[in-house]
Amino acid sequence: MSNLNQNTPVITVLGLGYVGLPLALAFSKKYEVIGFDIKADRVAELKDGHDSTNETQKNELLESNIVFTNSTKEILDSNFYIVTVPTPIDSNNKPDLKPLISASEIVAGVINDGDTIIFESTVFPGATEEVCVPIIEKNSDLQYNKNFFVGYSPERINPGDKMHRISDIVKVTSGSNQDTADKIDQLYSSIISAGTYKASSIKVAEAAKVIENTQRDLNIALINELAIIFDKLQINTDEVLKAAETKWNFLPFKPGLVGGHCIGVDPYYLTHKSQELGYEPEVILAGRKLNDSMGKFIAERLITAFEDDHIEISSTKILVMGLTFKENCPDLRNTKVIDVIDSLKHKGASLDIYDPWVNKSLAEEIYDINLVENLKKNTYDAILLCVAHNIFRNLGLEAIKEFGKEKHLVYDLKSMFASDEVDISL
């Protein structure tokens, strides 16, 4: 078994978002840690003890020994560089590797002989060694597996989840050779109480990560398709699922919008690589197509309900409660609530968007949405419950209904309340 080669290794975490910051904090309890981010404003807020992602508490930041910086000069003496930058998709659903490439270039400019680089960003199988390693070799004049070493340990952070933290989730690790794999596994084992799983290669670890979310995406796609069918059959989907879940091996997935930085993105990384190799992944792409269409289906269902009441959608005022891609976090990345909003706006409806979790200026910057801060009673023809924030659950259905006009519709997309208490459920 290899050792870490340093009694007190210095670790730099590149990218201080939802993944990088909690990871840096976990390592800082045992090691010297530098938190690097190219965004000066992000570094400044963390130095002040503020985390706009709400993943960490002020006292955790202020009491940690992490050095927050956006200067490459301050990361020159690290032994381990852990890359946790985003890996989004572009407007054509193709992998956008610019952040990963930029991070690789930064690492290449600071690493020394013997250093180890670990990538955590979700990628297609092969990306670490086919994309990142050549960039590091070219820009550092160091040789792979001779002067520097590489590993891949996919992130499994669940934004907004206060129960499953880094140390509580089994960590998959891998390395560019056996010695590196052992060293990286030992490093993560020192902070992961749930244990680690050492994959046989970097490519296996990359593939394992990307199929985790692909599998979930397809399961949700199936339930979404069933919801569409049951709607046409005029059967309540939630009631069907409750009946089916009485069988011990029925998987308890729910219909809904599939967005965010993982489930709605990762399958496109796998399909991209598959297509490059000449294989068209029909099932995965079919699931993606269906899930990407759910915003339009949800909007059309509301429009139909209005038509049944002889109400023109263009004359309605609608309240959308929730904008984030999931509950109890401020994360707006790839939220599919925006698809519902755009579909209703296109039909002429007037909308107010309310989400106390979201930074108002950020919503305006990213989606050109002006969030309302205070809700007025007796105002709306329909209320869409799009995100299951605890604050909405605790408010209660009766209080929510007070925002509606005397005659209004409540559309519960997240099954927050009993289906017989709302007008429409998904």
Question: Does residue 132 carry a catalytic annotation?
Answer: no
DSSP readout, 368-402? Answer: -----SSPPTT-EEEEEE-S--HHHHHH-HHHHHT
What element of type H or E holds 210?
Answer: helix 202-232
Point out the catalytic residue in the list 132, 262, 329, 386: 262
- CB atoms near residue 411 (< 10 Å): 23
Tell me which H or E stretch contains 68: strand 67-69
307 near 299, Cβ under 8 Å? no
Residue 68's DSSP bridge partners are 35
Amino acid letter, residue 343: S
> Helix or strand or coil: residue 75?
helix
Sorted by sequence, the CB contacts under 8 Å of residue 278 that are 6+ apart come out as none
In 3D space, the residue among 282, 308, 283 whose CA is nearest the CA of residue 219 turns out to be 283
Q: How far is the C-alpha of 173 from the C-alpha of 201, rounded, in Å?
A: 9
| E-only strand ranges, 70-202 | 80-83, 115-119, 148-152, 171-173, 196-198
Backbone angles phi, psi at 405, to 5 degrees: -70, 175
E strand or H helix at 425, and its extent? Answer: strand 424-425
Beta bridge partners of 188: none
Residues belonging to the active site: 262
